Amino acid sequence: MNTITTPKNKLYFHILLSISFAISLVLLRMKITQNEGYFFMIWNLFLAAIPYLISQTMKNHIWLQSSKWLCFSSLAIWLLFLPNSPYMITDLIHLQNNNTNLAWYDLFLVFVFAINGLLLGLLSMLDVFGIIAFRYSKKVAFISLIKISVLTGYGIYLGRILRFNSWDILTKPSYLMQQILQSVHDPKAYLMTFAFGGLLCILFSLVHSFTSHQKQSSYLQV
């Protein structure tokens, strides 16, 4: 019995391969050093994967898109978790207190996890772009993704600087709102929002342009 390999299955395979490689780096480090340093990166990567799991679920189940209430509710939850993906870049900060002789390995380890987190976020954004474009238009989708990139940059500030989690909007809503209002006077809020929001917006545009070019090339070859 022949197994049909679709582009989607190939994508899933390579994503799982990349994630497995990242996890193996942590497990190998634990084996060598006999401590659980950087084990938290696996949890961070799990959080980074949630937006992609949500967007793929929406993409593969039309009934989630056809219902306006379900669609916007799913997108709201997706947006809440999206900052966890590019947030993994900031895990490089843990290297500043690294005094082991595995500093080069730890740098590589964090870099691999950051790439995986960022990739999952960008793939998720591509899914959401398609969903918004289908419901409205490509113009609306592009404008929405720019705004989402900015909000994500601010979300990274909330996570790294103010140490909030995605679920704190439910567990600490009043305190979260208080800190958000106070952050208006914090220059770091603007710097991180601009830096990460701008980077995410640029990378999304590059990935979207590349995938669009690939689709056009495949059509021409048919």
- pLDDT digits over 162-200, tens only? 999 999 999 999 999 999 999 999 999 999 999 999 999
pTM for the full predicted model: 0.91
Please report whether residue 27 resides in a domain: yes
- pLDDT computed for residue 1 by the predictor: 42
Please report whether residue 2 resides in a domain: no
Please report whether residue 1 resides in a domain: no
The single residue listed with the structure tokens 């960008």 is: 122
Instruction: Please state the rounded mean pLDDT for residues 40-54.
Output: 97
Please report whether residue 195 resides in a domain: yes
Please report whether residue 136 resides in a domain: yes
Query: How many distinct structural domains can be found in the chain?
Result: 1
Range of the structural domain that residue 209 is part of: 7-221
- pLDDT computed for residue 35 by the predictor: 85
Please report whether residue 13 resides in a domain: yes
- pLDDT computed for residue 34 by the predictor: 87
